[in-house]
Structure 1
């Protein structure tokens, strides 16, 4: 009986989290209350509070789900090494499936959060910022220039955001190879342009009249 009760509690908790996640995606974080979450799955507010003591705890559990999904992608990235194909493999693993896109609304709202007097979101925002930095450090190890890591993260975030808003098709991992080529050659281009400018200024070709 005790095992059955624990299983029921786990299923109910998962339903509550799924309801909250879907409502946040459709309405935005600040327009979703515990009452909304409960109503969407036919539960009472008190029943939801039986699993999560506060709205902040519910949001924290949602963020934990996001952190777990990102961590599952980060683990192989950290071991990818410096082989030429490592970046493409890392990006393909990172963009595989639709799991990360479902967290975009929550993470975006937390990143854009501005603190109020009675703030329940600031600790969650700090967790997101730490996660972003961890992701940046991991990608920096795979790039020809660590300075490109922030740009790549912005690029990936744009892809995930477009996918979350149904502006990009499923199967984002198909763009991994092209994205890897773009960033692997990005560091070469400024050097090439600098070389061209050097040749143009230090040893300009003599001009001559056309016949």
Structure 2
């Protein structure tokens, strides 16, 4: 009975998160409340609050989903030494652009990046987590580019592609853009023979998640 109850709770939590992601993508994060999420899946407000006591708690769980998506995509690249060196940038971009799993997080990430307040609040730690991830992604690109100073531009370029996909302004086949995007930043014969991704990305914890987004409270 206990096992069944725990499984039911996990299933309910997953349904709530899936509903929230769908509504946020359709309406934008500012237009979505816990009540909206509950109504979308035929649950009571109390049932949703039993899992997430505030909107911030729900956003934190959604951010953890985004972090897990990034980690899962980068884990194969960070674990296999043979994946480093020439072509590493294209493989990294293809992994990040594959499917819609990352694009569905664009609204949440954009909202947190734009969040500003005069004093510490519940959203500030979430924004700090996003900024750490962006910084590590920047450093990852810098290590793979012949001109490290272009890393910030590449991050912005990647964000633009994912945002366009989230708004359905770009096709779902974004991985096909990886080769062209890599060529824009790495000319023929200019790819550095990097040993592997940076140490912060190479490390893999006991759960198998890449350390890129490992620092989850």
Give the TM-score of the pair, scaled to structure 1: 0.82
1:73 paired with 2:76, answer no
The structure, 1 or 2, with the larger RCO (C-alpha pairs under 8 Å, 6+ apart) is: 2
1:209 corresponds to which residue? none
1:89 corresponds to which residue? 91
5 Å-filtered alignment, 1:42-191, equals 42-78=42-78, 79=81, 82-115=84-117, 119-185=121-187
Deviations 1:144-188 (A, max 9, x none): 1211111111111000000000000011101111111111029x7
Q: Judging changes above 3 Å, is the alpha-carbon distance between structure 1 residues 57 and 182 closer, same or farther for their aligned structure 2 residues? A: same
Deviations 1:87-124 (A, max 9, x none): 11221122111110000010011111122668332111
Give the Cα–Cα distance (whole angstroms) in 2 for the partners of residues 116 and 33 of structure 1: 24
Greater shift, 15-24 or 25-34, is seen at 25-34
Structure 2, gaps ≥5 residues long? 191-217
Give the Cα–Cα distance (whole angstroms) in 1 for the partners of residues 92 and 61 of structure 2: 27
Number of corresponding residues: 188
2:39 corresponds to which residue? 39
Give the TM-score of the pair, scaled to structure 2: 0.80
Give the Cα–Cα distance (whole angstroms) in 2 for the partners of residues 131 and 87 of structure 1: 18
Please say if residues 28 and 109 of structure 1, whose CA atoms lie closer than 8 Å, have aligned partners that are also in contact.
Answer: no
Structure 1, gaps ≥5 residues long? 189-211
Give the ranges of 4+ consecutive aligned residues of structure 1 lying more than 6 Å apart after TM superposition. Answer: none
Give the Cα–Cα distance (whole angstroms) in 1 for the partners of residues 61 and 159 of structure 2: 22
Give the Cα–Cα distance (whole angstroms) in 1 for the partners of residues 6 and 174 of structure 2: 37
Higher-Rg structure is: 1
Q: Cα distance, 1:4 vs. partner?
A: 1.2
Q: Cα distance, 1:81 vs. partner?
A: 6.0
Give the Cα–Cα distance (whole angstroms) in 2 for the partners of residues 125 and 18 of structure 1: 21
Give the Cα–Cα distance (whole angstroms) in 1 for the partners of residues 157 and 77 of structure 2: 17
Give the Cα–Cα distance (whole angstroms) in 2 for the partners of residues 117 and 142 of structure 1: 37
Pairwise CA RMSD: 2.0
